[in-house]
Amino acid sequence: MILKSCDVLENMAILTFIELIINSTLAAVDPRTAVKNSIKVNSELLQAGDHSVLLEPLSRLRLVAIGKAAQEMASGAMDVLGDRIVDGLVIAKFLNCEITFPDNFQVLKGGHPVPNRESLISGQALNRFCQGSYRQDVFLTLISGGGSALVQMPVEGIPLQDLQMITRSLLHCGATIEELNTVRKHLDLVKGGGLVKMAAPARGISLVISDVKGDRLDFIASGMTVEDTTTVRDALQIISTHGLLAETPESILRILSNDIKQVVLNTAYPGGEELNWWGNTILLNNASAVQAVIQTARQAGWQAENLGWVLEGEARDAGEKLAEMLTRISEDPKIQKPICLVGGGETVVQVKGRGIGGRNLEVALGAVEGLALLDNVALFTLATDGEDGETGFAGAVVTPKTKCIAEKLDLKTQNHLEENNSCRFFEMAGGLIQTGTTGTNVNDLVILLAW
């Protein structure tokens, strides 16, 4: 059972359909399968995604996997390459004990979404792993969302507590992932192409699972294997725009104001041609999940349409707008039903309360009032990594009955929104979706159903 409570949805056929969508969608964005199907190798050539690299007689094939999908992606590579991989480093958020690697692999974890001491240890391990690479060496790097926090090698002079402080401030003020990673890139030596510089003069190929809008390689896990397109001026402007200058640690402002990272990079890694030796391919993205929903719905006999990137802006506002959309669909006799509409994206939450929640749960909570007077409709949200904030849930289902249950329990929707306490609301009212950690991450989904 994926839904923690069926009280909000008594129609078992619809409940079964929702669980079918969730299961089939997560299967369609399985990292291990995607990586396995993207790699080919022979004695002279490694092909991965859209790129290939020659294997010389003295070439060592080395593997680095970083992100929420790191273990699964590395397993897919091992399925194809096996003992041809000389050594490997895998850095994930959670360690799945059922996924094992040979003795020549080091498997670590880091903190997320706020970096911790394990993130620093992982950054040092990555630096050591890359050191001593030869020109003939070939790196296969497997990158997925979450890598920005999991691996940290901050510019000298930035203590961990200051890094944690600026990260929390940006998360709580409603900064987008692009804004957050812009700041991160100028404080850390791994990000913004840093991994490639550390591995020089080796060559490499990256396979990437995208969790950002437009599949911007320079923002996925802060672009460890691509050239940075942002500047310290951009980073300072983001901090200023969100009103964070006064609370930003002095060490952060000093590093940014003097562009110290660039000075360090120019000193430690002169040349600057390394990024030309690395190819990057997007393997899976939000569109992959959206298409899986559409395919599943149509096979089940539903009309199905793509709403595009609709999850953006403030989460509660997105929930209200989606409820309005579902209302129009429900009341329009010209629209053939049953119908399933799916969109993706990533909203933000300005944290002002002290409750427990996440952006997907807050989208769902924002839709509760708007669906209260309808019949035969449902809206549900899904974090494809299975982790909405720190709630332990992936999202929630909202139906007209959600409001009825809330009233019986004296749960005030607005009060829970003001306290950012969406998780508590759905724990009481029902409808929480729990998948567990999925081992993938292609951002968030919202599905609207009318029948």
On whether residue 37 sits in a domain, the answer given is no
Separation of alpha carbons 445 and 270, rounded Å: 43
Whether 393 and 361 have beta carbons less than 8 Å apart is answered as yes
336 and 360 assigned to the same domain: yes
Question: Is 166 domain-assigned?
Answer: yes
Tell whether 419 is covered by a domain.
Answer: yes
Domain check: are 96 and 125 in the same one?
Answer: yes
Instruction: Name residue, tokens 């391990």.
Output: 125
Q: Say which residue the tokens 């790129």 belong to.
A: 51
The last residue of a domain, from among 254, 284, 314 = 284
Using the 3D structure, point to which of 238, 269, 284 is the last residue of a domain: 284
What is the three-class DSSP state of 368? helix
Same domain, 299 and 442: yes
Q: Both 264 and 385 in a single domain?
A: no
Domain annotation covers residue 52: yes
* CATH number for position 431: 3.40.1480.10
Query: Is residue 1 a part of any domain in this protein?
Result: no
Kindly state whether residues 363 and 256 are assigned to the same domain: no
- Residue 35 placed within a domain: no
pLDDT digits 0-9 by tens, 206-253 = 999 999 999 999 999 999 999 999 999 999 999 999 999 999 999 999
Mind listing the pLDDT tens digit for each residue in 260-314? 999 888 777 766 677 778 999 999 999 999 999 999 999 999 999 999 999 999 9
Q: Which residues form the domain of 397? A: 12-27+286-450
* Overall pTM > 0.85: yes
Q: Give the pLDDT confidence score for residue 7 in this predicted structure.
A: 81
Q: Indicate if 319 and 443 belong to the same structural domain.
A: yes
Q: What is the count of structural domains for the chain?
A: 2
Q: Is residue 439 a contact partner of residue 145, using CB atoms and an 8 Å limit?
A: no
Q: Same structural domain for residues 342 and 385? A: yes
- 431: pLDDT strictly greater than 90: yes
Identify whether residues 269 and 291 lie together within a single domain.
no
Distances in Å between the Cα of 79 and the Cα atoms of 32, 85, 441 are: 9, 11, 21
Cα 353 to Cα 49: distance, rounded to the nearest angstrom: 44
Residue 416 contacts residue 422 (beta carbons within 8 Å): yes
Query: Do 295 and 400 lie in a common domain?
Result: yes
148 and 233 share a domain?
yes
Question: Based on the domain organization, do 227 and 163 belong to the same domain?
Answer: yes
Domain boundary among 233, 251, 284: 284
Structural domain contains residue 270: yes
Query: Residue 111's domain is classified under what CATH number?
Result: 3.40.50.10180
Q: What are the tokens at 107? A: 């498997």
Mean pLDDT of the chain: 95
pLDDT surpassing 90 at residue 10? no
pLDDT digits (tens, 9 = 90+) for 362-417: 999 999 999 999 999 999 999 999 999 999 999 999 999 999 999 999 999 999 99
Closest alpha carbon to 279 in 196, 188, 199: 196
Which pLDDT score is estimated for 265? 82
**What per-residue confidence (pLDDT) applies to 1?**
47
Answer whether residue 5 is part of any domain.
no
**Sign of the alpha-carbon dihedral angle for 131, 137, 142, 143:** positive
Residues 380 and 392 in one domain: yes
Of the chain, the percentage scoring pLDDT greater than 70 comes to: 98
Alpha-carbon distance of 40 to 119, in angstroms, equals 32
